[in-house]
């Protein structure tokens, strides 16, 4: 029975990935169809090299900030350069394969190379994401008031997203407060609603179960450091996204960048993405940015340019892997 269940799950996963790939290329094709060669050429010829340099530096800083977030939760047992190695591999796997592959590589590397239990690694991953959601939720709520009159149909979508994040955070902190009791109630509610059949729900519940088994006071102490780390990461990421737009001479106000960035990070959480959100992120952000003035044809060309830059930036991270191997593998063998 277990073998049959695993076979069915594997087949479903293959079908789901096939759907993700088809959707990614269909949406990417849609973005390409919204522009034309002359517009793309004009965008490329108008690239600002100083802003491109700033964009690259901020990308590296955002990667360093994400590694710092994980380091805060994992603790002093794993050195920062080792955590950075995990983050680099996770970023590359997520960008060129799928987010689920990135998460799997994250857990596997911590387990195999650094002896960190999968439950501890996944708890660190979840707590980091909770900190990020708190920061994104506040950013979305505060920026909404400044852009409300300009986002038309996105108004109520934004309100629903904010409410959804608040409910998720409420569930998390109830879980921390009441641990196993609340987890059992949540599990029963999901089974009653037949939601446990979904793979993504299973994975979230596995992570929540690991949290429910942790000491409440220890989690709350950790969150006091996680939340500032998330705001640091979000601040660097906001500057990075702004610099990316300025590379192609797209000028938005601070609040427009804040609002669109909040949506950008929420879109990256959608579990239908592959190849670093190819198509899904591009289509969504093309529409969001167009609300603030730039013509759709121009924004489509910009999204194509940003997509290429993001892939190149992630490839540049590969430089760290041989450097890490040379410095830390040799020191391990010396010990």
Q: pLDDT of 130-184, one tens digit each?
A: 899 999 999 999 999 899 988 888 888 999 999 999 998 998 888 888 877 877 8
Q: Where are the domains of the chain?
A: 15-334
Between 273 and 222, the higher pLDDT residue = 222
CA-closest candidate to residue 214, choices 131, 127, 132 = 127
Kindly state the average pLDDT of the residues 70-80.
77
Higher-confidence residue: 299 or 10? 299
pLDDT for residue 215: 74
Q: Give the span between the Cα atoms of 46 and 92, in whole angstroms.
A: 28
Instruction: Give the pLDDT band of residue 330 (cuts 50, 70, 90).
Output: low
Instruction: Please say if the pLDDT value at position 108 is more than 80.
Output: no
**CA pair distance 60, 202, nearest whole angstrom:** 33
Read off the tokens for 291.
């609300």
* Res 166: pLDDT: 94
What is the pLDDT of the chain when averaged over all its residues?
81
Q: Report which of residues 293 and 208 the model is more confident about.
A: 293
Burial state string for 290-323 with b = 16 or more CB within 10 A and e = fewer than 16: bbbebeebbbbbbbbbbbebbeebbeebeebeee
* pTM: predicted TM-score of the whole model, two decimal places: 0.83
Is 218 exposed, middle or buried (CB count within 10 Å of its CB: 0-12, 13-18, 19+)? exposed
C-alpha to C-alpha distance for 28 and 33, rounded to whole angstroms: 9
């088809």: which residue's tokens?
Answer: 22
Q: Is the pLDDT of residue 1 over 70?
A: no
Choose between 99 and 86: higher pLDDT.
86
Over range 210-226, report the average pLDDT. 79
pLDDT value of residue 261? 92
**Average pLDDT for residues 61-86, to the nearest whole number?**
83
Mean pLDDT along residues 203-214: 72
The pair of structure tokens assigned to 157 is: 């979508």
Rg (CA), the chain: 21
**Looking at residue 193, what is its pLDDT?**
73
Which tokens hold the place of 167?
């409910």
* CA dist list (Å): 142 to 155, 158, 252, 293: 13, 12, 17, 21
- Mean of the pLDDT values across residues 82-105? 75
Give residue 6's pLDDT.
47
| Position 2 confidence tier, pLDDT thresholds 50, 70, 90 | very low
Higher pLDDT: 326 or 58? It is 58
Q: What per-residue confidence (pLDDT) applies to 135?
A: 94
Tokens (6 digits) for 219: 């989690």
């Amino acid at each position: 029975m277990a073998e049959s269940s695993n076979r069915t799950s594997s087949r479903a996963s293959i079908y789901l990935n096939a759907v993700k790939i088809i959707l990614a290329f269909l949406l990417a094709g849609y973005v390409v169809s919204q522009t034309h060669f002359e517009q793309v050429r004009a965008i490329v010829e108008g690239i600002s090299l100083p802003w491109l340099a700033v964009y690259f530096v901020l990308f590296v800083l955002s990667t360093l900030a994400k590694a710092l977030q994980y380091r805060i939760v994992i603790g002093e047992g794993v050195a920062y350069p080792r955590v950075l190695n995990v983050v680099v591999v996770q970023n590359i796997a997520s960008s060129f394969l799928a987010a689920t592959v990135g998460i799997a590589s994250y857990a596997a590397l911590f387990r195999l190379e650094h002896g960190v239990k999968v439950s501890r690694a996944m708890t660190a991953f979840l707590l980091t994401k909770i900190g990020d959601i708190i920061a994104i939720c506040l950013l979305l709520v505060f920026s909404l008031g400044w852009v409300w009159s300009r986002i038309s149909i996105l108004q109520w979508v934004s309100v629903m997203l904010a409410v959804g994040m608040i409910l998720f955070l409420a569930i998390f902190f109830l879980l921390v407060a009441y641990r196993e009791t609340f987890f059992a109630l949540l599990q029963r509610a999901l089974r009653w609603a037949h939601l446990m059949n979904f793979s993504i729900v299973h994975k979230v519940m596995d992570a929540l179960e690991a949290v429910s088994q942790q000491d409440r006071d220890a989690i709350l102490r950790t969150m006091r450091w996680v939340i500032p780390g998330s705001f640091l990461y979000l601040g660097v990421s906001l500057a990075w996204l702004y610099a990316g737009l300025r590379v192609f001479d797209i000028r938005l106000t601070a609040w427009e960048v804040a609002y669109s960035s909040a949506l950008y990070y929420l879109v990256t959480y959608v579990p239908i993405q592959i190849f670093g959100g190819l198509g899904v992120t591009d289509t969504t952000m093309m529409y969001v940015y167009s609300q603030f003035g730039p013509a759709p044809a121009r924004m489509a060309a910009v999204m194509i340019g940003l997509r290429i830059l993001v892939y190149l930036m992630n490839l540049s991270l590969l430089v760290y892997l041989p450097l890490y191997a040379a410095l830390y593998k040799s020191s391990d063998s010396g010990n």
